[in-house]
Amino acid sequence: KRDAEASGLGIDEAIAVHKKPRAPNVKLDEHRLLSDNGIPKLRKKAGELKFKGKGHEFSDTKQLLDLYQFWLDDLFPKGKFLDSLAMIEKTGHKSRVISARLNWINELKPKATQDSDE
């Protein structure tokens, strides 16, 4: 019965249904973290940081936290600060990130060892 009615209206042809793939969720994962906008940028920005030192513990800390917050806002705009920090902490257990972290530490090490040798 339904067929007969439908054919009269010309809507009986099968319509190819394309399921449009959903846009993937943007994630704060190790790829994003290790990209140019990630840690490398943070290192560059950290170089510009100037601390006042003794007696200004709280204002210095605020500077430090501001640095992280603005950097994270650029890197992963939709996440809140504390949420993003937790997500980054999680990526820290991935082997890729661990090796990158060791590299960063080692880059700074030779100087230290030379100093101590001399």
Partner 1 sequence: MESSEGTSDIVHPEVRAHINSLVSALGGFSAEDDGRYVMGDSALEVLRDIKKWIRFYDEKTNRMDVARCLADANLVDGDLLHILASWPQNATDNRFKARAALACFEIMVPLTWPLERNHEEMTVNHHRHMPVLQLAQVAYKRSIINFDAAQILHTAVRVALPSMALPRNNRTPRDEGIIKLVLLFLRNMAMISPPPNVQYDGDESHISRSALIDAFSFQDILLTILTLASNMGEDFNHEGVIVMEIIFHLVKRVDVSKLFMDEKQLGKTNANELTSLMNKEAAMHRPHNRKAPTRHNRFGAMVWVQRGDGKMSTISGQDALLDAATRKQKMDDSKTYRPPRRARKDMEPKDLGPVVSLNARARQQLRGFVEEFLDSGFNPLFLNVRKKLDDGKEYVFGYHYQQFFYLVAWFLEAQRARTKATKSSQVAGGDDVGSYNLVATVLNQEMFITLNRSMSTSLEGKNWQELCAAMRCFTQILLTVQDMSESGNEDDEEIAENILSRIFYEEETHDRVANIARNYKDQGFEYLDSCTELAHTYLRILEAYAKQNVDMQVRSRRRIRRKKAAKAAVADDANPAADDESENDQASAERTTKERKFDFSRFAARFIPQGVIDTFVKFTKYYQDLNDAQLKRAHRFFYRVAFKQNMSVMLYRADIIHLFYSMIKGQQPLDKGCGMYKEWEELVKQVLKKCIRKVEERPALIIEMLFSKINATAHYLEYGYEKQTIAKS
Binding footprint of partner 1 on the chain (CB under 8 A):
39, 42-43, 45-47, 51, 53-54, 57-58, 60-62, 64-66, 68-70, 73-74, 77-83, 85-89, 92-93, 97-98, 101-102, 104-105, 107-108, 112, 116
- What 3-state DSSP class applies to 80? coil
Cβ closest to partner 1, residue 2 vs residue 111: 111
Cβ closest to partner 1, residue 3 vs residue 48: 48
Q: How far is the CB of 25 from partner 1 (least distance, A)?
A: 10
H or E element that contains 75: helix 57-75
79-83-85 Cα angle (round to 5)? 105
Q: How far is the CB of 4 from partner 1 (least distance, A)?
A: 43
Q: How far is the CB of 61 from partner 1 (least distance, A)?
A: 5
Query: Which residue type is seen at 112?
Result: A
**CA dist 23 to 63, 75, 103, 111, Å?**
36, 19, 34, 46
Please identify which residue in the block is written with the tokens 């994003």. 32
Cβ closest to partner 1, residue 6 vs residue 27: 27
